[in-house]
Amino acid sequence: MIPFFSAGALFVGTVAAATDGADGSLFIGLPVSAFLYWLLTRGIGVDGEAELATAQAAELEQAAHKHILP
């Protein structure tokens, strides 16, 4: 995103300078980060995560029932 970033007088990237200071970093950063998120999270086992969350919720409920108010 840095070459497309424009922050006024503070910093202007090379592509932003070539486009007279137009900030196009959002149009580059969002699609690239969305694609990388999709690519890197394809191997996550959703079923395993759901089972873990259910088990942890049950443990939390048990701990809450054991809690004694002072």
What phi, psi does 13 have (nearest 5°)? -70, 170
Looking up tokens 């809450």 gives 64
pLDDT tens figures, 2-23 = 888 888 888 888 888 898 888 8
Residues 11-62 pLDDT 10s: 888 888 898 888 888 889 999 999 999 999 988 888 989 999 999 999 998 8
Which residues contact residue 61 at a Cβ distance below 8 angstroms, ignoring those fewer than 6 apart? none
